[in-house]
Amino acid sequence: MQGQMNVSRRIFEEVWDKGNLAAIDDLVDANHVNHDPSAAQLPPGREGFKMFAAAYRSAFPDLKMMIEEQVGEGDRVVTRWRAQGTHKGALPGLPATGKSATVTGIGIDRIVNGKIVESWANWDQFGMLQQLGAIPPEQ
């Protein structure tokens, strides 16, 4: 189980924190399936994962993701995380705002033979858009 948790942890540390997209080749299966609704327009597989990570790393170049809790069982690793960054690059439909955002989320990775073959994510995209000023705050 420790091996699966290390694979999931390395995605956070190497890809999201450091922007090392080459690490995706070592950590993600070529036929990876991403169930994150915000990635629905991207192609499946490792290349789609790279495009997803590149888009957010470009939009938030100072992105820092913190693992708050991680548990594993069988071939699955669940990670509760928090991310912070400054919106300095465009996201689809949203030019850079220069504003900072803090977002929380939970991800589940299914890991087989040392590679992530499937991922699910649920994160506060609405809250992020509010913090960036794209959606008015609730009153």
Alpha-carbon distance values, 82 to 17, 70, 125 (Å): 12, 12, 12
pLDDT in tens, the chain (139 residues): 678 899 999 999 999 999 999 999 999 999 999 998 888 788 989 999 999 999 999 999 999 999 999 999 999 999 999 999 999 999 988 999 999 999 999 999 999 999 999 999 999 999 999 999 999 877 6
Q: Are residues 119 and 109 in contact, defined by beta-carbon separation less than 8 angstroms?
A: yes
Token digits of residue 129: 């858009």
The pLDDT score that the predictor gives to residue 103 is 97
> Which residues form the domain of 61?
2-131
Q: Is the pTM of this model over 0.85?
A: yes
- Asked if residue 136 is part of any domain, the answer here is no
Asked, for residue 65, whether it belongs to a domain, the answer is: yes
Number of structural domains (the chain) is: 1
Of 64, 106, 69, which is closest to residue 85 (Cα–Cα)? 64
CATH number, domain of 105, equals: 3.10.450.50
Is 112 within the bounds of a domain?
yes
Is residue 139 domain-resident? Answer: no
Asked whether residue 73 is domain-assigned, the answer is: yes
In a domain, residue 138? The reply is no
Classify residue 59: in a domain, yes or no: yes
